[in-house]
Amino acid sequence: MCIELDRLKTGREGSLELTRQLHLQHRTIQALVVETLLKGIAAWAIETEQEGRYDARNARAMDRTLTLLKIAPPDLTESSDEVPITLDHLTMYTC
């Protein structure tokens, strides 16, 4: 399965097509594809927020992604060094 973002269908039709394509894959591939999509979307949201690359067109998508995927801003340690955000909780394939 190859996803070309400029050819990806959006809305309900796109969601249904992605679902159909996932069902055609081996279960290991399904888990790895879902993990890749989630981590990619999460990384996009984190970078978009950190770099201020949002406006009224994508702010809700960024905010909801950070909330739904439970991505919190990094905590500060006592030495004021940022703790990096990890996406380990989005790992789906565990065998």
* pLDDT, tens only, 7-23: 888 999 999 999 999 99
Residues paired with residue 82 on neighbouring β-strands, in sequence order: 76
* Per-residue pLDDT band at 6 (split at 50, 70, 90): confident
Which residues, including other chains, have CB under 8 Å from residue 84's CB and lie 6 or more apart?
74
Question: Does residue 27 sit within a domain?
Answer: yes
Residues paired with residue 76 on neighbouring β-strands, in sequence order: 82
Helix (H) or strand (E) holding 33: helix 27-50
* pLDDT tens track for 48-78: 999 999 999 999 999 999 999 988 765 444 4
Report pTM: 0.80
Compute the C-alpha angle 77/85/43, nearest 5°.
155
Domain around 41: 11-90
Average pLDDT over residues 81-94: 78
Question: Does residue 15 sit within a domain?
Answer: yes
How many domains is the chain built from? Answer: 1
